[in-house]
Structure 1
Amino acid sequence: MVDMHLSIPEVALRLLLAMVMGGAIGYERQYKSRPAGLRTHILVCMGACVIALIQVEIATGAMRDALDHPDLAGVIRSDEARLIAQVVSGVGFLGAGTIIVTKRSVTGLTTAASLWAIAGLGIAIGMGFYTIALSSFIGIFFALTIVKRIVRVPTAKKLEIQYIHRTETKEFLTEYFQEKNIVIEDVNFDVKFMEDYRIYTNIYTIDLPRGLGFSEVIEELSVYKNVTKIRLVDIA
Protein backbone atom coordinates (compact mmCIF):
# COMPACT_ATOMS: atom_id res chain seq x y z
CA MET A 1 0.00 0.00 0.00
CA VAL A 2 1.21 3.49 -0.86
CA ASP A 3 2.21 5.55 2.18
CA MET A 4 -0.18 8.51 2.26
CA HIS A 5 1.49 10.23 5.19
CA LEU A 6 3.43 13.44 4.61
CA SER A 7 7.15 12.93 4.26
CA ILE A 8 9.60 14.80 6.48
CA PRO A 9 10.94 16.89 3.56
CA GLU A 10 7.36 17.88 2.63
CA VAL A 11 6.54 18.89 6.20
CA ALA A 12 9.80 20.85 6.45
CA LEU A 13 9.06 22.60 3.14
CA ARG A 14 5.61 23.71 4.27
CA LEU A 15 6.88 24.98 7.61
CA LEU A 16 9.73 26.81 5.87
CA LEU A 17 7.31 28.47 3.45
CA ALA A 18 5.11 29.51 6.39
CA MET A 19 8.11 31.00 8.19
CA VAL A 20 9.35 32.88 5.10
CA MET A 21 5.98 34.24 3.99
CA GLY A 22 4.85 35.06 7.51
CA GLY A 23 8.19 36.73 8.19
CA ALA A 24 7.94 38.85 5.05
CA ILE A 25 4.53 40.20 6.07
CA GLY A 26 5.67 40.63 9.67
CA TYR A 27 8.76 42.55 8.58
CA GLU A 28 6.55 45.08 6.77
CA ARG A 29 4.41 45.51 9.91
CA GLN A 30 7.42 45.85 12.22
CA TYR A 31 9.06 48.32 9.84
CA LYS A 32 6.02 50.54 10.33
CA SER A 33 6.18 50.07 14.13
CA ARG A 34 2.88 48.20 14.36
CA PRO A 35 1.79 46.23 17.46
CA ALA A 36 2.45 42.81 15.87
CA GLY A 37 5.72 42.46 14.00
CA LEU A 38 8.11 39.90 12.55
CA ARG A 39 8.05 37.19 15.22
CA THR A 40 4.31 37.42 15.84
CA HIS A 41 3.46 36.94 12.16
CA ILE A 42 5.93 34.08 11.82
CA LEU A 43 4.45 32.32 14.85
CA VAL A 44 0.86 32.83 13.71
CA CYS A 45 1.60 31.60 10.18
CA MET A 46 3.64 28.61 11.34
CA GLY A 47 1.14 27.80 14.09
CA ALA A 48 -1.72 27.75 11.59
CA CYS A 49 0.45 25.63 9.30
CA VAL A 50 1.11 23.13 12.10
CA ILE A 51 -2.62 22.83 12.84
CA ALA A 52 -3.31 22.28 9.14
CA LEU A 53 -0.57 19.62 8.97
CA ILE A 54 -2.11 17.84 11.94
CA GLN A 55 -5.50 17.96 10.26
CA VAL A 56 -4.02 16.53 7.06
CA GLU A 57 -2.44 13.70 9.03
CA ILE A 58 -5.72 13.00 10.84
CA ALA A 59 -7.58 12.83 7.53
CA THR A 60 -4.86 10.64 6.03
CA GLY A 61 -4.97 8.28 8.98
CA ALA A 62 -8.75 8.04 8.79
CA MET A 63 -8.56 7.26 5.08
CA ARG A 64 -5.93 4.57 5.67
CA ASP A 65 -8.03 2.98 8.41
CA ALA A 66 -11.06 2.99 6.12
CA LEU A 67 -9.07 1.22 3.40
CA ASP A 68 -7.65 -1.29 5.85
CA HIS A 69 -11.07 -1.98 7.38
CA PRO A 70 -13.75 -1.59 4.68
CA ASP A 71 -16.38 -2.88 7.09
CA LEU A 72 -15.82 0.23 9.28
CA ALA A 73 -15.81 2.73 6.41
CA GLY A 74 -19.18 4.10 7.48
CA VAL A 75 -18.03 4.62 11.06
CA ILE A 76 -14.61 6.24 10.53
CA ARG A 77 -14.98 9.94 9.82
CA SER A 78 -12.64 12.90 9.54
CA ASP A 79 -13.79 16.50 9.24
CA GLU A 80 -10.88 18.45 7.71
CA ALA A 81 -12.47 21.78 8.58
CA ARG A 82 -12.84 21.15 12.32
CA LEU A 83 -9.36 22.17 13.52
CA ILE A 84 -9.06 24.86 10.86
CA ALA A 85 -12.24 26.53 12.10
CA GLN A 86 -10.70 26.76 15.57
CA VAL A 87 -7.64 28.52 14.12
CA VAL A 88 -9.77 31.13 12.39
CA SER A 89 -11.75 31.91 15.54
CA GLY A 90 -8.67 31.79 17.78
CA VAL A 91 -6.71 34.28 15.70
CA GLY A 92 -9.63 36.68 16.06
CA PHE A 93 -8.84 37.07 19.77
CA LEU A 94 -5.16 37.62 19.00
CA GLY A 95 -5.99 40.27 16.41
CA ALA A 96 -8.31 42.03 18.86
CA GLY A 97 -5.34 42.50 21.18
CA THR A 98 -3.55 44.60 18.57
CA ILE A 99 -6.44 47.09 18.26
CA ILE A 100 -5.96 50.21 20.34
CA VAL A 101 -9.00 52.42 20.92
CA THR A 102 -8.69 55.93 22.29
CA LYS A 103 -11.05 58.87 22.47
CA ARG A 104 -9.61 60.30 19.25
CA SER A 105 -8.59 57.32 17.14
CA VAL A 106 -8.62 53.59 16.51
CA THR A 107 -5.34 51.96 15.53
CA GLY A 108 -4.18 48.42 14.85
CA LEU A 109 -7.05 47.37 12.58
CA THR A 110 -4.74 46.70 9.63
CA THR A 111 -2.36 44.65 11.78
CA ALA A 112 -5.29 42.65 13.18
CA ALA A 113 -6.47 41.99 9.63
CA SER A 114 -2.96 40.97 8.56
CA LEU A 115 -2.79 38.44 11.43
CA TRP A 116 -6.12 36.98 10.39
CA ALA A 117 -5.01 36.81 6.75
CA ILE A 118 -1.62 35.33 7.64
CA ALA A 119 -3.36 32.56 9.58
CA GLY A 120 -5.32 31.71 6.45
CA LEU A 121 -2.08 31.72 4.49
CA GLY A 122 -0.54 29.31 7.01
CA ILE A 123 -3.54 26.99 6.68
CA ALA A 124 -3.19 26.98 2.89
CA ILE A 125 0.50 26.10 3.15
CA GLY A 126 -0.14 23.40 5.74
CA MET A 127 -2.85 21.81 3.61
CA GLY A 128 -0.50 21.81 0.63
CA PHE A 129 -2.46 24.28 -1.49
CA TYR A 130 0.63 26.00 -2.85
CA THR A 131 -1.13 27.92 -5.62
CA ILE A 132 -3.57 29.43 -3.11
CA ALA A 133 -0.75 30.12 -0.67
CA LEU A 134 1.47 31.89 -3.19
CA SER A 135 -1.42 33.91 -4.60
CA SER A 136 -2.54 34.87 -1.10
CA PHE A 137 0.96 35.92 -0.11
CA ILE A 138 1.27 38.18 -3.16
CA GLY A 139 -2.18 39.64 -2.50
CA ILE A 140 -1.55 40.32 1.21
CA PHE A 141 1.84 41.88 0.55
CA PHE A 142 0.39 43.98 -2.27
CA ALA A 143 -2.43 45.21 -0.04
CA LEU A 144 -0.04 46.25 2.74
CA THR A 145 2.68 47.90 0.66
CA ILE A 146 1.47 48.94 -2.79
CA VAL A 147 -2.25 49.76 -2.62
CA LYS A 148 -1.76 52.85 -0.47
CA ARG A 149 0.67 54.27 -3.04
CA ILE A 150 -1.61 53.61 -6.01
CA VAL A 151 -5.08 54.31 -4.63
CA ARG A 152 -5.50 57.55 -2.73
CA VAL A 153 -8.56 57.68 -0.51
CA PRO A 154 -9.42 61.23 0.51
CA THR A 155 -8.93 61.56 4.24
CA ALA A 156 -11.22 63.92 6.06
CA LYS A 157 -10.07 64.66 9.60
CA LYS A 158 -10.82 67.20 12.27
CA LEU A 159 -8.26 69.84 13.10
CA GLU A 160 -8.80 71.57 16.44
CA ILE A 161 -7.26 75.03 16.73
CA GLN A 162 -7.33 77.23 19.83
CA TYR A 163 -6.39 80.88 19.42
CA ILE A 164 -6.77 84.44 20.64
CA HIS A 165 -7.54 87.68 18.76
CA ARG A 166 -10.48 86.33 16.80
CA THR A 167 -10.63 88.64 13.76
CA GLU A 168 -6.91 88.67 13.01
CA THR A 169 -6.48 84.92 13.45
CA LYS A 170 -9.56 83.97 11.43
CA GLU A 171 -8.27 86.01 8.52
CA PHE A 172 -4.91 84.25 8.78
CA LEU A 173 -6.52 80.79 8.85
CA THR A 174 -8.81 81.55 5.92
CA GLU A 175 -5.91 82.81 3.81
CA TYR A 176 -3.79 79.79 4.75
CA PHE A 177 -6.47 77.26 3.80
CA GLN A 178 -7.10 79.02 0.49
CA GLU A 179 -3.39 79.23 -0.31
CA LYS A 180 -2.88 75.51 0.39
CA ASN A 181 -6.09 74.46 -1.45
CA ILE A 182 -7.43 72.85 1.72
CA VAL A 183 -11.14 72.09 1.50
CA ILE A 184 -13.11 72.92 4.67
CA GLU A 185 -16.08 70.56 4.85
CA ASP A 186 -17.35 71.71 8.23
CA VAL A 187 -16.35 73.90 11.15
CA ASN A 188 -17.53 74.14 14.76
CA PHE A 189 -16.94 77.18 16.97
CA ASP A 190 -16.50 77.56 20.69
CA VAL A 191 -15.34 80.35 22.98
CA LYS A 192 -14.18 80.49 26.61
CA PHE A 193 -14.33 83.72 28.58
CA MET A 194 -11.30 84.36 30.74
CA GLU A 195 -10.73 87.31 33.07
CA ASP A 196 -9.38 89.78 30.54
CA TYR A 197 -9.43 87.90 27.24
CA ARG A 198 -11.20 85.15 25.30
CA ILE A 199 -9.95 81.83 23.93
CA TYR A 200 -11.58 80.71 20.70
CA THR A 201 -11.69 77.09 19.50
CA ASN A 202 -12.42 76.12 15.92
CA ILE A 203 -12.77 72.46 14.95
CA TYR A 204 -12.32 72.17 11.18
CA THR A 205 -13.26 69.09 9.18
CA ILE A 206 -10.79 69.36 6.32
CA ASP A 207 -9.67 67.43 3.25
CA LEU A 208 -6.07 67.93 2.19
CA PRO A 209 -4.87 68.03 -1.43
CA ARG A 210 -2.39 65.49 -2.76
CA GLY A 211 1.14 66.02 -1.50
CA LEU A 212 0.17 67.88 1.67
CA GLY A 213 0.29 66.09 5.01
CA PHE A 214 -1.39 66.90 8.30
CA SER A 215 1.94 67.09 10.08
CA GLU A 216 3.04 69.83 7.70
CA VAL A 217 -0.19 71.78 8.26
CA ILE A 218 0.09 71.51 12.04
CA GLU A 219 3.73 72.60 11.99
CA GLU A 220 3.04 75.67 9.84
CA LEU A 221 -0.02 76.77 11.81
CA SER A 222 1.59 76.24 15.21
CA VAL A 223 4.21 78.94 14.60
CA TYR A 224 1.56 81.63 14.30
CA LYS A 225 1.69 83.87 17.37
CA ASN A 226 -2.05 83.84 18.14
CA VAL A 227 -2.44 80.03 18.03
CA THR A 228 -2.28 78.61 21.57
CA LYS A 229 -3.09 74.97 20.85
CA ILE A 230 -3.53 72.75 17.79
CA ARG A 231 -4.21 69.04 17.48
CA LEU A 232 -5.52 66.48 15.01
CA VAL A 233 -8.67 64.53 15.83
CA ASP A 234 -9.49 61.39 13.86
CA ILE A 235 -13.07 61.01 12.77
CA ALA A 236 -14.60 57.90 14.36
Structure 2
Amino acid sequence: MFDQLSAEFARPMSLPFGVVVLRLAMAVLLGGIIGWEREKKHRAAGLRTHMLISLAAACFTLVAMELVNFAPQHEGDGQQQTDPFRLIEAVTAGVAFLAAGSIITSGRNVRGITTGASMWLCGGIGLCCGTGDLQLAVIVTAMAITVLYLIRRLLSPVLRAED
Protein backbone atom coordinates (compact mmCIF):
# COMPACT_ATOMS: atom_id res chain seq x y z
CA MET A 1 0.00 0.00 0.00
CA PHE A 2 2.83 2.41 0.86
CA ASP A 3 4.47 1.69 -2.50
CA GLN A 4 1.26 2.60 -4.29
CA LEU A 5 0.96 5.85 -2.33
CA SER A 6 4.59 6.82 -2.92
CA ALA A 7 4.19 6.04 -6.63
CA GLU A 8 1.52 8.75 -6.80
CA PHE A 9 4.15 11.32 -5.85
CA ALA A 10 6.77 9.86 -8.17
CA ARG A 11 4.86 10.10 -11.45
CA PRO A 12 7.30 11.59 -13.92
CA MET A 13 6.56 15.12 -15.11
CA SER A 14 7.23 16.16 -18.67
CA LEU A 15 9.25 19.12 -17.41
CA PRO A 16 12.25 18.88 -15.10
CA PHE A 17 11.42 19.61 -11.47
CA GLY A 18 13.71 22.66 -11.39
CA VAL A 19 11.91 24.19 -14.39
CA VAL A 20 8.55 23.71 -12.70
CA VAL A 21 9.80 25.34 -9.50
CA LEU A 22 11.32 28.24 -11.46
CA ARG A 23 8.07 28.88 -13.36
CA LEU A 24 5.99 28.80 -10.19
CA ALA A 25 8.47 31.00 -8.31
CA MET A 26 8.49 33.55 -11.14
CA ALA A 27 4.69 33.65 -11.06
CA VAL A 28 4.76 34.35 -7.32
CA LEU A 29 7.50 36.98 -7.68
CA LEU A 30 5.95 38.84 -10.61
CA GLY A 31 2.43 38.68 -9.19
CA GLY A 32 3.90 39.96 -5.94
CA ILE A 33 5.46 42.96 -7.63
CA ILE A 34 2.06 44.07 -8.88
CA GLY A 35 0.39 43.12 -5.61
CA TRP A 36 2.96 45.17 -3.69
CA GLU A 37 1.89 48.30 -5.55
CA ARG A 38 -1.77 47.57 -4.73
CA GLU A 39 -0.83 46.85 -1.11
CA LYS A 40 0.90 50.23 -0.83
CA LYS A 41 -2.36 51.85 -1.91
CA HIS A 42 -4.16 49.92 0.86
CA ARG A 43 -6.38 47.97 -1.54
CA ALA A 44 -8.26 44.92 -0.31
CA ALA A 45 -6.68 42.77 -3.01
CA GLY A 46 -3.01 43.34 -2.34
CA LEU A 47 0.24 41.46 -2.20
CA ARG A 48 -0.94 37.99 -1.20
CA THR A 49 -4.01 38.03 -3.45
CA HIS A 50 -2.01 38.94 -6.54
CA MET A 51 0.67 36.39 -5.72
CA LEU A 52 -1.90 33.64 -5.31
CA ILE A 53 -3.73 34.53 -8.53
CA SER A 54 -0.51 34.43 -10.51
CA LEU A 55 0.59 31.20 -8.83
CA ALA A 56 -2.79 29.56 -9.46
CA ALA A 57 -2.71 30.52 -13.13
CA ALA A 58 0.80 29.10 -13.49
CA CYS A 59 -0.28 25.93 -11.70
CA PHE A 60 -3.29 25.46 -13.97
CA THR A 61 -1.06 26.02 -16.99
CA LEU A 62 1.44 23.40 -15.84
CA VAL A 63 -1.37 20.94 -15.12
CA ALA A 64 -2.78 21.49 -18.62
CA MET A 65 0.65 20.98 -20.16
CA GLU A 66 1.06 17.74 -18.20
CA LEU A 67 -2.37 16.55 -19.34
CA VAL A 68 -1.50 17.28 -22.96
CA ASN A 69 1.76 15.36 -22.66
CA PHE A 70 0.23 12.36 -20.90
CA ALA A 71 -3.26 12.34 -22.43
CA PRO A 72 -4.26 9.20 -24.30
CA GLN A 73 -4.88 9.78 -27.96
CA HIS A 74 -7.95 8.95 -30.01
CA GLU A 75 -7.45 5.76 -31.92
CA GLY A 76 -6.57 6.31 -35.53
CA ASP A 77 -6.73 10.09 -35.88
CA GLY A 78 -3.74 11.04 -33.68
CA GLN A 79 -5.52 14.03 -32.11
CA GLN A 80 -5.38 14.63 -28.41
CA GLN A 81 -8.49 14.67 -26.27
CA THR A 82 -7.36 17.68 -24.24
CA ASP A 83 -7.51 21.27 -25.41
CA PRO A 84 -4.95 23.53 -23.70
CA PHE A 85 -6.68 26.65 -25.03
CA ARG A 86 -9.60 25.96 -22.72
CA LEU A 87 -7.19 26.65 -19.89
CA ILE A 88 -6.81 30.26 -20.99
CA GLU A 89 -10.58 30.63 -21.06
CA ALA A 90 -10.95 29.05 -17.62
CA VAL A 91 -8.25 31.17 -15.99
CA THR A 92 -9.58 34.32 -17.63
CA ALA A 93 -13.14 33.61 -16.49
CA GLY A 94 -12.13 32.61 -12.98
CA VAL A 95 -9.91 35.60 -12.37
CA ALA A 96 -12.45 37.94 -13.98
CA PHE A 97 -14.99 36.66 -11.45
CA LEU A 98 -12.62 37.52 -8.58
CA ALA A 99 -11.73 40.85 -10.13
CA ALA A 100 -15.38 41.81 -10.59
CA GLY A 101 -15.89 41.23 -6.88
CA SER A 102 -13.29 43.88 -6.11
CA ILE A 103 -15.23 46.60 -7.96
CA ILE A 104 -17.60 48.66 -5.83
CA THR A 105 -20.04 51.18 -7.26
CA SER A 106 -21.93 53.75 -5.27
CA GLY A 107 -23.86 56.21 -7.41
CA ARG A 108 -21.31 57.81 -9.70
CA ASN A 109 -18.40 56.59 -7.55
CA VAL A 110 -16.57 53.51 -8.76
CA ARG A 111 -13.72 51.95 -6.80
CA GLY A 112 -11.59 48.89 -7.39
CA ILE A 113 -11.44 48.87 -11.19
CA THR A 114 -7.64 49.17 -11.29
CA THR A 115 -7.28 46.48 -8.65
CA GLY A 116 -9.63 44.22 -10.63
CA ALA A 117 -7.62 44.85 -13.80
CA SER A 118 -4.36 44.11 -12.00
CA MET A 119 -5.79 40.85 -10.67
CA TRP A 120 -6.84 39.86 -14.18
CA LEU A 121 -3.39 40.77 -15.48
CA CYS A 122 -1.76 38.59 -12.80
CA GLY A 123 -3.74 35.68 -14.21
CA GLY A 124 -2.14 36.38 -17.58
CA ILE A 125 1.30 36.67 -16.02
CA GLY A 126 0.76 33.31 -14.32
CA LEU A 127 -0.20 31.77 -17.67
CA CYS A 128 3.02 33.14 -19.17
CA CYS A 129 5.08 31.72 -16.32
CA GLY A 130 3.36 28.37 -16.51
CA THR A 131 4.10 28.01 -20.21
CA GLY A 132 7.70 29.08 -19.69
CA ASP A 133 7.40 32.43 -21.42
CA LEU A 134 9.26 34.18 -18.62
CA GLN A 135 10.50 37.01 -20.82
CA LEU A 136 6.94 38.00 -21.71
CA ALA A 137 5.93 37.72 -18.06
CA VAL A 138 8.74 40.06 -16.98
CA ILE A 139 7.96 42.56 -19.76
CA VAL A 140 4.25 42.59 -18.86
CA THR A 141 5.07 43.03 -15.17
CA ALA A 142 7.40 45.95 -15.93
CA MET A 143 4.77 47.58 -18.09
CA ALA A 144 2.10 47.04 -15.43
CA ILE A 145 4.26 48.69 -12.78
CA THR A 146 4.85 51.56 -15.19
CA VAL A 147 1.11 51.98 -15.61
CA LEU A 148 0.28 51.53 -11.91
CA TYR A 149 3.06 53.57 -10.36
CA LEU A 150 4.85 55.86 -12.77
CA ILE A 151 1.82 57.03 -14.73
CA ARG A 152 0.09 58.00 -11.47
CA ARG A 153 3.16 59.99 -10.42
CA LEU A 154 3.35 61.75 -13.77
CA LEU A 155 -0.36 62.53 -14.01
CA SER A 156 -0.99 63.49 -10.37
CA PRO A 157 0.05 67.13 -10.82
CA VAL A 158 -2.01 67.41 -14.02
CA LEU A 159 -5.11 65.88 -12.46
CA ARG A 160 -4.85 68.10 -9.35
CA ALA A 161 -4.53 71.20 -11.53
CA GLU A 162 -7.80 70.31 -13.30
CA ASP A 163 -9.79 70.13 -10.02
What's the CA shift string for 1:188-234, capped at 9, x where partnerless? xxxxxxxxxxxxxxxxxxxx527xxx6xxxxxxxxxxxxxxxxxxxx
Paired residue for 2:114, among 110, 113, 127?
110
User: How far apart are 1:101 and its partner, in Å?
Assistant: 1.0
| C-alpha contact (below 8 Å) 2:53/2:122 kept by paired residues | yes
Q: Deviations over 1:152-183 (max 9, x none)?
A: 6965xxxxxxxxxxxxxxxxxxxxxxxxxxxx
Q: Which has the higher contact order (CA 8 A, sep 6+)?
A: 2
Summarize deviations over 1:59-114 as a string: whole Å, max 9, x none. Answer: 2224xx55xx9x64435333111122111011111011111111241110000000
Aligned to 1:143: 147
TM value normalised by structure 1: 0.59
Of 31, 41, 44, 1:22 maps to 31
Please say if residues 51 and 84 of structure 1, whose CA atoms lie closer than 8 Å, have aligned partners that are also in contact: no
Q: How many residues are treated as equivalent by the alignment?
A: 152
The answer for the alignment partner of 1:209 in structure 2 is: 161
Tell me which of 55, 61, 84 is aligned to 2:70: 61
Map 1:177-196 onto structure 2 (within 5 A): none
What are the Cα deviations for residues 36-66 of structure 1, in whole angstroms up to 9, with x where unaligned? Answer: 011100110000010010111112224xx55
TM-score for the superposition, normalised by structure 2 = 0.83
Q: In percent, how many aligned pairs have the same letter? A: 37
Unaligned residue ranges in structure 2 (runs of 5+): 1-11
CA-based RMSD of the aligned residues comes to: 2.3
Partner of 1:31: 40
